[in-house]
A and B are shown apart, each in its own frame.
Chain A
Amino acid sequence: MIPTPIRSVVLQSTRRALLGSITPKIPVRTLSTSTHNNTNTHSKEVAADSKFHNISHRLFHYSSYGLFALLPAGIFLAPNAQFIDLALNALIPIHSHIGLTTVMYDYVYGAARKPAKFLLWIVTILTAVGLYKLNTEDVGISQSIKSLWVTDPKAQKN
């Protein structure tokens, strides 16, 4: 049997797809924990029964599930974790980008937000490309974290 949460999510999304125009819309705030005045004057409108307001909220939520499962598994399996490393290559930039966007929105306001968002995108893309290079040419994400604990017998001899 398909477990109940997955079944309800599938049913909900099909219902929303079929009755999308009929489901009433409610305004919601976008993902931001800012407590400052007047930073989010434009709210989005989403279907009244949607649990996640926007795609970044969904990406953040599911990437945290993935990281919780894969990061310890990768470090445990370390030299033989190529597929886990490729999955982490996708999940880490997504999770860190959305998290850092929230943090940035809390401390940066007004006209400074546009350049900060642009820099954050640059950093995220560089991170993704660098981690890919680490996975393909070098040992990989998990092994590079694990190597701080691994004592290399060759280095000890020298």
Chain B
Amino acid sequence: TSPFTHGISSGINAEYGEHKHIKSNITPLYNHKMSLSRYSWRVGLCARRNPLVLNKLSTRVFSTQTQKQFTINNTTQEDLNKQRKERPTSPHLSIYAWQITNSLSVVHRGTGIALSVVFIDLALFKLFGSHDILHYIQLVKDLSPAIVLPFLKGAVAFPFIYHTLAGLRHLIWDTGKMLSIVNVYKSGYLLIGATTVLTAIAAFLTL
């Protein structure tokens, strides 16, 4: 036994050691009990200085001269954004279940964009077109066969009707009314029904 294991072989610290029952011929260097932390330090020391493992342990060298200054947190917002671009995103739209609530919201946004496009086109045709606006609208009506006209009128009326009624639903929510799940679904079904009826009327209406 090495001098380092002297005193912690069986006998001393019988509560921590394994072989409580074995009496040893080795006399302890001291008779007091050591704490668990010191006992485990001694065990670790024996393990580290054990010739059988010495060549396998890594040696760390610390030098006060060569140690460079480091800051705890020097990542900028750009670094974080760069990391985020390379990190994979967890799925969101691909796993979110289509319900009536989010579908109606998507259609509300889509019809809003469509209506913006309609009014932007109206304005651009007026600004950069050579004829007045009724000429272009009459052109659209002339170029489409009679079968297509109800579909055309329905397709133009649908964004107006849907966005207006869904907007009404949003304005009602802004007052704090009808926010429960039951009422959200009720108003959603009412919206679908009203839009269908009004678009059908608008598709076959001639003024």
Q: Do A and B bind each other?
A: yes
> Are B80 and A130 in contact (CB-based, < 8 A)?
no
B132 nearest in chain A by CB position? A138
Q: Is the CB of A138 within 8 A of B206?
A: no
CB of B111, distance to nearest CB on chain A (Å): 11
Interface majority SS on B: helix, strand, loop or mixed?
Answer: helix
Chain A: interface residue count, which band? 35 or more
**A138-B133 CB under 8 A given contacts A65-B171, A130-B124:** yes
**Are A130 and B171 CB-contacts (below 8 A) given A144-B137, A148-B156?**
no
Q: Which of B145-176 contact A (CB under 8 A)?
A: 152-153, 156, 160, 164, 167-168, 170-171, 174
Is B186 located at the chain interface by the 8 A CB criterion? no
Q: Which of A110, A131, A145 is the one whose CB lies under 8 Å from B81?
A: A110
A64 and B112 alpha carbons, distance in the complex (Å): 12
Chain B binder among A8-16, A19-27, A96-104: A96-104
In the complex, whether A114 has a CB less than 8 A from a CB of chain B is: no
Using C-beta atoms within 8 Å of the partner chain, give the interface range for chain B: 35 or more
Question: How would residues 90 to 113 of chain B score, 1 for a CB under 8 Å from any chain A CB and 0 otherwise?
Answer: 001000000000000000010011
| Bound: A123/B119 CA distance, A | 11
Could you say which residues of chain A place their CB within 8 Å of the CB of B92?
Answer: 35
Binary A-proximity of B54-89 (CB < 8 A = 1, otherwise 0): 000000000000000000000001001100100000
A151, B127: Cβ atoms under 8 Å? no
Whether, in the assembled complex, B138 has its beta carbon less than 8 Å from a beta carbon of chain A, the answer is yes
Identify A149's interface contact among B133, B153, B168, CB under 8 A.
B153
Residue interface bits B124-151, CB-to-A below 8 A is 1, else 0? 1111000011100110110000000000
Per-position binary interface string of chain A over residues 36-50, scored 1 when its CB falls under 8 Å from any chain B CB and 0 otherwise: 011001000000000
Interchain CB contact under 8 A, A71 and B127: no
B152 to chain A, nearest CB (A): 8
Q: Is B120 an interface residue (CB 8 A)?
A: yes
Which residues does chain A contribute within 8 Å of B80, judged by CB atoms? 38
> Are A92 and B119 in contact (CB-based, < 8 A)?
yes
Which residues from chain A contact B164 at a C-beta distance below 8 Å?
67-68, 71-72
CB nearest to B113 among chain A residues: A103
Chain A residues contacting B125 (CB-CB under 8 Å) are: 130
B207 on the A face (CB < 8 A): yes
Closest B residue by C-beta to A147:
B137
- Interfacial chain A residues near B116, Cβ < 8 Å: 96, 99-100
| Distance of A99 from chain B, by nearest CB (Å) | 5
A-B contact pairs, 21 of them (CB 8 A): A38-B81, A61-B174, A64-B167, A68-B171, A72-B164, A96-B112, A126-B127, A127-B123, A130-B123, A130-B126, A130-B127, A139-B132, A139-B133, A144-B122, A144-B134, A147-B137, A148-B140, A148-B153, A148-B156, A149-B206, A151-B207
